[in-house]
Homo-oligomer: A and B are copies of this chain.
Amino acid sequence: MYFCDLKRMEDKIKTFAKFGDAGHGGVTRYSLSPESILARDEFVKRMTAIGATIETDDLANMYATIPGSDPNAKRIVMASHCDSVKNGGNYDGILGVMGAMEVLETVVAESIPHKHPLTAMIWTNEEGSEFPPCMMSSGTVSYDYMPERFRDNFEFNKMMASRSILDPEMTFGEKLSTFKYKGDKANRINPDQYKAMFELHIEQGPILEDAGKDVGVVTCVLGQMLYRIKFYGQAAHAGTFPMKKRKDAFYAASEALCYLHEEIDKLGHEDLVYTTGEVVIHPCVNTVIPDFFDFSIDVRHENPEVLNQVREILATLEKREWQGCKCEVVLGWNRDTVYFDEKLIDHVREAVAESDIPYMEIKSGAGHDAQYISYMVPTTMIFVVSKDGLSHTEVEYTTPEQCTNSVSVMLNAVLKADKADD
């Protein structure tokens, strides 16, 4: 078994944490932002230093490739993203990119023989923080291969028209057209040139930590659906309008939110998660009764039947008025559970089993680019433990040792895939 280098990983973690440093231990590094360019420049610098060839595609996805012994062999790619949520941490996404670089650096430094070209890759706009949806470019690249019913979410021109939440005048396409690393569509990852994709990522949950494991062998990504729950009330003056006549959209939403927790929790599914994280209120003035309140609800579970049960509860919201306000439930998008490639899962399981790193099988509650690429190229993921299960926050943390161990697992799994029959 081969091992990656702790010092080199520590250096990468420290360096990339500077790009978009928000000042309290984390980063805000939106895709296509100046901060994201700094991270990509560093990627180019380090990969060029080991003799890798740099390519970029029309969505600014980046590929750094070192050749294998067989010039005709398909590539094996290790990919993740370098963009973050607002006030995110130093591991979500970027760890998978640093890990891919570390694998290539180790292979070159130790002249590890391999047949297939090995590629380290950066996915553009996985978080969708400024330009929704999340996993935009993996969804777009795998468009022709994904089930019909998901395609509408990732139609190319629709993605290009996605508006910035920071500047509604700006579309993703406009920003991309002037972006330093926009390249050629011909360079997109595809089934003819790529044999397999691995994505290393922090778990973003407490399951590994609670079980005392460092690495998770990921078998699937849980099904997920996103809805917006909208309430329409009537604005009026705070000081003069009698309580009995009010149609307060914020009160309506609060009452409905408590109702949702009550009803969904009654279903009794331990492993069901749902989140109401995004809010829009109008006019948001302390002397005015709100006439509009809208919140998102993100629901995840492996079993589509369980998602249907929640869907039925959401539907009941529209059947009554909430504090005199009408309610509207709008589907954002949804996807079924995605199962990863059995062969690749075995390579990861064998690689970690040969080490003394504590591991377990795990399902991914988070969405990842890997789930869309798995429609197109054999794909799997490796998770590494997250301290306190926290992510999408500045306090997310994984020790340098745990990071390096997980990268060593990826290196050895990639080498097994390299040896496996094509």
Interface residues of A, Cβ cutoff 8 Å to B = 85-87, 127, 129, 134, 203-207, 222, 224, 226, 234-243, 245, 248, 250-251, 253-255, 257-258, 261, 265, 270-279, 281-291, 295-296, 298, 300, 332, 364-367, 389-393
Q: Which of A242, A272, A296 has the most CB of B within 10 A?
A: A242
Complex Cα–Cα for A241 and B392 (A)? 11
Bound form: Cα–Cα A390–B365 in Å: 46
A200 to chain B, nearest CB (A): 16
Quick one: which of B87, B245, B248, B258 contacts A389, CB cutoff 8 A?
Answer: B245
**Shortest CB distance A28–B (Å):** 9
Determine how many copies of this chain the complex contains: 2
Interchain Cβ contacts under 8 Å between A and B, 7 examples: A87-B282, A204-B240, A234-B393, A239-B365, A250-B279, A286-B296, A286-B298
Known: A251-B258, A285-B392. 8 other contacts (CB 8 A): A204-B237, A237-B392, A248-B275, A250-B277, A275-B288, A275-B289, A277-B287, A278-B286
- Which residues of the other chain, B, contact A281 by a CB distance below 8 angstroms? 279
Q: Is the CB–CB distance between A273 and B205 below 8 Å?
A: no
Quick check: A257 and B251 within 8 Å, CB to CB? yes
Q: Are the C-beta atoms of B283 and A237 separated by less than 8 Å?
A: no
Q: How many angstroms between the C-alpha atoms of A274 and B261 in the bound complex?
A: 26
CB contacts (< 8 Å) of A204 on chain B: these are 236-237, 239-241
Cα of A189 to Cα of B283 in the assembled complex, Å: 33
Supposing A239-B224, A240-B203 touch, asked if A85 and B288 sit within 8 A by C-beta, the answer is yes
Please tell me which one of the listed residues B206, B272, B273, B286 contacts residue A238 in the complex, with CB atoms under 8 A apart: B273
- A366 to B238: give the CA distance in the assembly, Å: 7
A366's partner among B205, B235, B237, B254 (CB-CB below 8 A) is B237
> Are B277 and A288 closer than 8 Å at their CB atoms?
yes
Q: How far is the CA of A199 from the CA of B75 in the complex (A)?
A: 78
Tell me whether A285 and B235 are in contact (CB under 8 A): no
Minimum CB–CB distance from A232 to chain B (whole Å) comes to 13
- A284 with B290, Cβ < 8 A, contacts A239-B298, A240-B205, A255-B258 known: no
- Contact call B241/A129, Cβ cutoff below 8 A: no
Contact between chains at B286 and A226 (CB < 8 Å): yes
**Complex alpha-carbon distance, A129 and B86, angstroms:** 27
Q: State the CA gap A273–B410 with chains docked (Å).
A: 62
Chain B residue with Cβ nearest A228: B286
- Shortest C-beta distance, A321 to chain B (Å), equals 16
Do the beta carbons of B250 and A295 come within 8 Å of each other? yes
